[in-house]
Structure 1
Amino acid sequence: MSYDKNNIFAKILRKEIPCNKIFENEYVFSFYDINPQKKIHALVIPKGEYINLDDFNQRASNQEIVAMSKAISEVANILGISIEIGKGYRVLTNLGEHGGQEVPHLHFHLFGGEIIGKMVE
């Protein structure tokens, strides 16, 4: 599967579609989900063209991988849901058809601000 440069997150990164930005650094961008599933629902995405987590782990630089991991924690702190500030949160990424991936650009969902519930029903 090749990367689709016209997916919604690529358009957000190019500023063709507006978003409510939370955080940005050289490698990572974060914004609020436009269709929140929980009280707090943010997305954290790489700025690079990666389809999913497997693609990212195979092709991303060590700097990008570290930046993504640290950005997830930073966004949780900004949102007040980290263990240090809040009561915790869930991080989720979907891969492929069976994993429920809808947008072919790696993205992590951060859910918080309330009890999230069961992992899988």
Structure 2
Amino acid sequence: MSHDPNCIFCKIVAGQIPSKKVYEDEQVLVFHDIHPWAPVHILLIPKLHIPSLVEVTGEHAALLGHMSTLAPRLMKELGVTNGFRTVINTGPDGGQEVYHLHMHAMGGPRPWLKG
């Protein structure tokens, strides 16, 4: 499995940096965002180091499908009942800050409005 020793998310996956874990399996780690934009804001990250969505190929289809079907289940388990938003920021113009593919899932009242 690919790993970047300088990547903060790879360090979280390796247990070198603590996180408030929500879920983990052989493919992904899910944890609460440290700077939430909504009452519930989690990050779904693959354990495989993929720098961004631009790097995704057909071989990653099952992984992205897993992340996409996991998000609604976890949001429901976390008490989000009135909808949520998923976002994958890609590249500098897309607002990506950490270059390890990750999906934000944000729920609660108007999670996209930063106050």
Question: Which TM bucket (shorter chain)?
Answer: 0.7 to 0.9
Distance 1:49 1:60, change over 3 A: farther
Letter in 2 for 1:51: P
Please report how far the alpha carbon of residue 73 of structure 1 lies from its aligned counterpart in structure 2 after TM superposition. 2.1
Measured on the aligned residues, the alpha-carbon RMSD in Å equals 1.8
Q: Which runs of 4+ in 1 moved over 3 A?
A: 59-63
Out of 100, 105, 109, the position equivalent to 2:95 is 100
Distance 1:18 1:72, change over 3 A: same
Please report how far the alpha carbon of residue 36 of structure 1 lies from its aligned counterpart in structure 2 after TM superposition. 1.1
Contact 2:37/2:111, CA 8 A, preserved across alignment: no
Answer yes or no: is 1:115 the counterpart of 2:114. no
Please report how far the alpha carbon of residue 110 of structure 1 lies from its aligned counterpart in structure 2 after TM superposition. 1.0
Please report how far the alpha carbon of residue 6 of structure 1 lies from its aligned counterpart in structure 2 after TM superposition. 1.4
Contact 1:27/1:68, CA 8 A, preserved across alignment: no
Match of 2:70 in 1: 71
Contact 1:94/1:101, CA 8 A, preserved across alignment: yes
With 67-76 and 16-25 compared, the bigger mean Cα shift is at 67-76
Match of 1:89 in 2: 84
Work out the CA distance in 2 between the residues paired with 1:15 and 1:115.
32
- 1:49 is paired with a residue whose SS is coil
Work out the CA distance in 1 between the residues paired with 2:53 and 2:27.
15
Distance 1:60 1:75, change over 3 A: farther
Work out the CA distance in 1 between the residues paired with 2:64 and 2:37.
26
Please, which runs of 5 or more residues in structure 2 have no aligned partner?
A: none
Work out the CA distance in 1 between the residues paired with 2:41 and 2:34.
9
Match of 1:11 in 2: 11
Identity of aligned residues (%): 37
> 1:11-62 CA deviation, whole Å, 9 max, x = no partner?
1000000000001111111000111122111111111111112213x16444
Answer yes or no: is 1:80 the counterpart of 2:75. no
Please, which runs of 5 or more residues in structure 1 have no aligned partner?
A: none
